[in-house]
Structure 1
Amino acid sequence: MQNLLVISALGDDRPGIVDELTQAVADCGCNVSESRMSVLGGEFAIILLLSGNWGAVAKLEAQLPKLQSQMGLLLTSKRTEQREFKRQMIAYEVEVVAMDHPGIVRDISGFFSSRQINIENLQTSNYAAAHTGAPMFAMQMNISIPADLSIGSLRGEFMDLCDELNLDAMLAPIK
């Protein structure tokens, strides 16, 4: 039986963090099942879903304080279970591009939350517009839409919201 552990790490960005962290994971006999990594500002952030037998996961948990000190990272961990899907869901992708302004993530996440639609993955970035240099915002997210929800109605309501907020957006099934 596989045991699951989620570890998050945050610290100053430098080469070798992923190598050092995954080496410690492997040395304990655990496996990286899923991961998300990014550099945000000058900070490196990573979230790992690790799997292993009970002894391997316990060994890694015991080594986390030492790893935190050695690597100069803030480490947190939590045991978890395999995710259970209770309803039929359809995977969709959302893309939004707009002039940057506060509240875009809140407005879009609130729209989906109010309809009991789960955000599975979310990524945002800022960049300068090509010719004008205006501050731009881009967001990509994956959502799980309940199969019994009308996609046509959802798409219409979403596009109305985006028009109201002056956002260019796309809602499409993930293939």
Structure 2
Amino acid sequence: MATQKTYLVISALGEDHPGIVNQLSRVILEHGCNIEDSRMTVLGGEFAAMLLVEGRWNTLAKVENGLPELGRQLGMTIVSKRTSGRAAGGNLIPYAVDVVAMDHPGIVNNLAAFFAERNINIEDMATSTYAAAHTGTPMFSVHMTVGIPADLHIAGLREEFMDYCDGLNLDAVLEPIKG
């Protein structure tokens, strides 16, 4: 009889230093669990990690119980929450959104509002700032994955999105994720 998978989401935040990923992943492995999905990055001087850990309910409990001590050892704030497997997305088609613009406040909020008003879920997002080549102008880039309902008229949505971005002076692309 197959056992139903159980999951734990772990969020860790603290001052960046070498060895954090090693120690986090070792505790998970030592308790018989597996990292199924993760996002880790350095933001400013802080290391931030989000991990989806899979294991039996009792092995996840051991991981949960060890997190406060691990947080103390690493000098990090670590929180966790039990979760279920992701429900099937229904008739959602994954699309990639890429936006580049001169950096200014409100870009993320404007993009989020566009999709929220159309009940389109932002499933993943990464942003960054950089200096433009040759001029050094502060630039901002956003890459996100959105789930677009299959019954939505894609050409109409794309036209609305491009017009919206043009009005905000954002260079944007909305295209299906291939593969």
2:115 to 109, 112, 116: 112
Structure 1: any 5+ residue segments left out of the alignment?
Answer: none
Q: Is 1:51–2:49 an aligned residue pair? A: no
1:86 Cα deviation (Å)? 5.2
Distance 1:161 1:168 in 2: 10
Q: 1:21 to 1:86 in 2, by over 3 A?
A: closer
Distance 2:171 2:77 in 1: 37
Checking the alignment, whether the CA contact within 8 Å between 2:5 and 2:85 is kept in structure 1 is no
Distance 2:128 2:170 in 1: 15
1:83 Cα deviation (Å)? 1.1
Q: Summarize deviations over 1:78-125 as a string: whole Å, max 9, x none.
A: 000011125200000000000000000000011001101111110000
Structure 2: any 5+ residue segments left out of the alignment?
Answer: none
Distance 1:112 1:34 in 2: 24
| Structure 2 counterpart of 1:115, one-letter code | R
| Structure 1 counterpart of 2:94, one-letter code | A
1:19-98 superposed matches below 5 A: 19-85=22-88, 87-98=90-101
Which residue matches 1:153?
Answer: 156
| Structure 2 counterpart of 1:161, one-letter code | Y
Question: Structure 1: which 4+ aligned runs deviate by more than 6 Å?
Answer: none
Which residue matches 1:132?
Answer: 135
Which residue matches 2:106?
Answer: 103
Matched residue SS, 1:149: coil
1:164 Cα deviation (Å)? 0.3
Which residue matches 1:12?
Answer: 15
TM-score normalised according to structure 2 size: 0.96
Q: Summarize deviations over 1:39-75 as a string: whole Å, max 9, x none.
A: 0000000000000011100111111111111111100
Matched residue SS, 2:119: coil
Matched residue SS, 2:98: strand
Checking the alignment, whether the CA contact within 8 Å between 2:10 and 2:50 is kept in structure 1 is yes
Distance 2:19 2:135 in 1: 37
Matched residue SS, 2:143: strand
Q: 1:86 to 1:122 in 2, by over 3 A?
A: closer
Task: Give aligned pairs, total.
Answer: 175
Checking the alignment, whether the CA contact within 8 Å between 2:158 and 2:174 is kept in structure 1 is yes
Matched residue SS, 2:93: strand
Distance 1:33 1:54 in 2: 15
Distance 2:99 2:30 in 1: 41
- RMSD across aligned C-alpha pairs, in angstroms? 0.7
